Amino acid sequence: MVICEGFLQLTTPEFRGDRDYVFPGENHFLYWKTSSSLWNSKLAEYQESNIIIVPINWAFHSDTGENYDFGEHRPEANLAKLVQTAKNNGKEIIFLVAITPSPFLPNGGIPHLLARNISISESNISTAAIDSEGRINKMFSFFDPRLFKNYVKFLEALSGHFSSTGVDVDVWTVTNCYYDQDVLYSYFSDYSNTFTSGLSRFLSIKMQEAEKKGESFQISSQEEEQNLRKEYYDSVYSLYAETAREHLSANWAGHFNMLFLGGRISNIGARAFEVDDVWQYCHDVFRGLCDGIITSSILLPLGVKRGALARILSELVEMTAIPNLLLSGRKTSEEEMAFRQLELFSIYEKDLFSIHSGWSSLHLYKFLSSNYGHTYRRVLVNEQDHPSSTQIHFFTGDLVDEKIFSRILEIFMNGGSVILDTSAMNNEFVQKMELFVLENNLQVERVNFMAIVNNISLGDGRLIYFSGEALASLPSSKILSFWEKIVSTFSLYHCQIVGGDGVECFWRTRPSLAAELSYSEVRRVGLYNPTSYRKKVKLSFMKNFALMKIVDETNAKVVSRQNEIEVDFSPNGSISIDFGVFGD
């Protein structure tokens, strides 16, 4: 059964072929699930992409964590042979090495003799996930010092195999994660006694260091305790990440987060009754794209990955997100002209996994999702680059230090737009802001609209700042009206989409081709109805938009009028519409 918006929908069971186990989705190839003698034929038959993503199964290469097999005993463990087989078929292998438990593998992917301390969730239950075959995989704590020692041995053996056999393909490290009620969680997270014991040792060292300096060490508040817990968590997580990068440096290409649909603990009970919330899976994909995360459907049964969800995974993950991330910096000219995610807004955060986001409490994400689709991107504040298409940058005052203050001014001085919530901003930078305004003889427009809003303009640059504390006590409807008023003061080219509750939309963009030079860019909106109901959507577009074509029309009827398109969706319907966008 499949559940859509709370209603059960019967589906016909489908035979799972061998290919479904070996290629479970999103270009993944599970080399340990088939004979190495079949690698050549399976890779030759796979035509969806030339990029083959191969997660490395730590436990497959060692039962104990001490001795490793990379083809010496079992040919299926020979990763160098796999790379050569792929090259012979015109395919490119990209290896993934997890620095967290992996929910699609027994014991989270660690050798069974190392699976000693079960990871515990914040709600005090064992962390686990159910895979596509109905098996429950328990996660084990990465805060176990013995596990880390053997993880280092694994990295040494893996890098030795690569160097001795001349493997020269990219290796990415990954953090495996999942969403629960729109909050991002890592499988690295742990509240077990193993974590608590490590935290106690960490605090003891802190205390000893303080005593050596003649200082006192006391935890005087719950907030201070939480900060110390996070400091310990981050230090261990960084230890795994840095150790992996160091040992794999010859092949290391970068790090990213991977989202697993169906990876919540609550999905175990739902799957036991053959109930899957398809709309939630689709929603999580879009949320992941806005967080810069690659989505995997490897945990989902084949029968669930149909209709709108299948098209979302193919069009937005396989064809857009994966190549844009994994092939960044070495695309062909043809790939450079392909569609990529439209990112009008960059929202800077200290931690993507934090449940305490100032912008969430001010309903910014709700406003942008409702009015501008998924055209925002959450960006870690320490990232060096920001999306080139960003038109408005959002910062909170607690993030502002010398570096961030300079970045805000740089964006503004270069003609960009910044919205800054000055709540919790250090008074030093409040004074620096005032000094910057005086030294550059800038005019500040002040408007009292639910909060004192300050607006500064310099050429094309805009800087709006206000205190979000003034909005915190207001009802959500008023805060949404605040954002509508503020964002409407910017000249954003966008289409309004009305109706169709449950219909998801996603915007992509590409440069204009030689025959399209009258346009500054081409935008494609994908509309998807993953519900089991008929839905009607009306799309109104500005004079800067010219309808080019309607593509990939599935279970949808379109009526086009001047500056308006109406789409009538059947269940699991979808459609893509291309617009040429005129510049100023």
User: pLDDT for 82-126, tens place per residue?
Assistant: 999 999 999 999 999 999 999 999 999 999 999 999 999 999 999
Summarised one tens digit per residue, pLDDT across range 485-544 is 999 999 888 998 988 899 999 999 999 998 888 999 999 999 999 999 999 999 998 889
The shares of helix, strand and coil residues in the chain, as percent rounded to the nearest 5, are: 35, 25, 35
Q: Kind of pairing, strands 171-180 and 252-260?
A: parallel
> Which tokens go with 472?
């915190």
Summarised one tens digit per residue, pLDDT across range 423-477 is 989 999 999 999 999 999 999 999 999 999 999 999 999 999 999 999 988 999 9
Q: Is the CB of residue 243 less than 8 Å from the CB of residue 142?
A: no
Instruction: Report the distance separating Cα 286 and Cα 502, nearest Å.
Output: 13
- In the CATH scheme, what is the code of domain 345-487? 3.40.50
At the topology level, CATH places domain 496-581 in Immunoglobulin-like (2.60.40)
Give me the pLDDT at residue 273, please. Answer: 81
Instruction: For residue 274, give every residue at least 6 positions away whose Cβ sits within 8 Å of its Cβ, in sequence order, or none.
Output: 1
Summarised one tens digit per residue, pLDDT across range 218-265 is 888 888 889 899 999 999 999 999 999 999 999 999 999 999 999 999
Residue from 165, 176, 201 nearest 97 by CA: 176
H or E stretch at 392: strand 392-396
Q: Is the CB of residue 88 less than 8 Å from the CB of residue 225?
A: no
Residue 208, Cα to own-chain centre: how many angstroms? 39
Instruction: Report the distance separating Cα 525 and Cα 496, nearest Å.
Output: 11
Q: Counting runs of H as helices and runs of E as strands, what totals does the chain give? A: 17, 24
Q: Is the CB of residue 26 less than 8 Å from the CB of residue 315?
A: no
Domain at 2-336: CATH architecture: Alpha-Beta Barrel (3.20)
Instruction: Report the distance separating Cα 455 and Cα 416, nearest Å.
Output: 13
Name the residue ranges covered by the structural domains of the chain.
Answer: 2-336, 345-487, 496-581
Q: Could you tell me the pTM of the whole model? A: 0.91
Q: Is the CB of residue 117 less than 8 Å from the CB of residue 107?
A: no
Instruction: Report the distance separating Cα 545 and Cα 480, nearest Å.
Output: 26
Give me the pLDDT at residue 329, please. Answer: 66
Tracing tokens 């909106």 back to the chain, one arrives at 525
Q: How far apart are the first and last CA of the chain?
A: 51
Give me the pLDDT at residue 254, please. Answer: 95
Residue from 363, 373, 419 nearest 396 by CA: 419
Instruction: Report the distance separating Cα 350 and Cα 360, nearest Å.
Output: 13
> Which tokens go with 580?
């040429």
Residue 14 has pLDDT above 50, yes or no: no
Q: Helix, strand, or coil here: 199?
A: helix
Instruction: Report the distance separating Cα 312 and Cα 115, nearest Å.
Output: 36
- For 4, half-sphere exposure in the C-beta direction (CA atoms, 13 angstrom radius) is 21
Summarised one tens digit per residue, pLDDT across range 553-583 is 999 999 998 889 999 999 999 999 999 999 7
Instruction: For residue 538, give every residue at least 6 positions away whose Cβ sits within 8 Å of its Cβ, in sequence order, or none.
Output: 497, 498, 499, 564, 565, 566, 567
H or E stretch at 161: helix 145-165
Residue 48, Cα to own-chain centre: how many angstroms? 22
Q: Is the CB of residue 288 less than 8 Å from the CB of residue 295?
A: yes
User: 503-531 burial string, b = 16+ CB within 10 Å, else e?
Assistant: bbbbbbbbebeeeeeebebbbbbbbbbbb
Residue 342 sits at φ, ψ, to 5 deg, of -80, 120
